[in-house]
Amino acid sequence: MRRSRQKGLTLVELIVAFTIMAMLTAMAVPLARYKVRRDKERELRWALREIRTAIDRYKDEADKGTLGPIKLGTEGYPESLEILVEGVKLPTADDKKIRFLRRIPKDPFTNSTDWGKRSMKDDPKSMTFSGDHVFDVYTKTTERAADGTPYSEW
């Protein structure tokens, strides 16, 4: 006896539906990875810009003499990134501090606040730090951008 009004899906319909869902998922995963990568790149650019701007502001204030006498060998640049956060006491009677960063931003690729540093004596693509002063920062990740450039050269 045949039932003329059966409800439900046949095996063929289920296989077709799952195949379509698998294809859509396979197309969505690379797009999601690409978006995550772009978001990390955007965060990296923002963090580098923020730190470099703070270093430049420190240098400008040191050149003006606002921070007191420049220490020998620092060229007017901060000795560490922590100084930008902790602040520098102004040589006035008020004992005011001037801060250049609220906090050291996290590197989105390494997920830490440990940035690579370069001084003026270091080679622009060097991965070692001479330790005198902080002229520039870079990410310590070894990953590369979509165009093939290492993120550490940004």
> Looking at the domain assignment, is residue 5 inside a domain?
no
Domains in the chain, number: 1
> Looking at the domain assignment, is residue 149 inside a domain?
no
> Looking at the domain assignment, is residue 91 inside a domain?
yes
pTM score > 0.75 for this model? yes
> Looking at the domain assignment, is residue 83 inside a domain?
yes
> Looking at the domain assignment, is residue 75 inside a domain?
yes
In tens, the pLDDT along 49-95 reads 999 999 999 999 998 888 888 888 788 899 999 999 998 888 876 77
> Looking at the domain assignment, is residue 37 inside a domain?
yes
> Looking at the domain assignment, is residue 146 inside a domain?
no
Q: Which domain holds residue 108?
A: 11-141
Q: Residue 125 and residue 37: Cα distance in Å, rounded?
A: 23
In tens, the pLDDT along 25-42 reads 888 888 888 899 999 999
Percent helix, strand, coil in the chain, to 5, is 40, 10, 50
> Looking at the domain assignment, is residue 147 inside a domain?
no
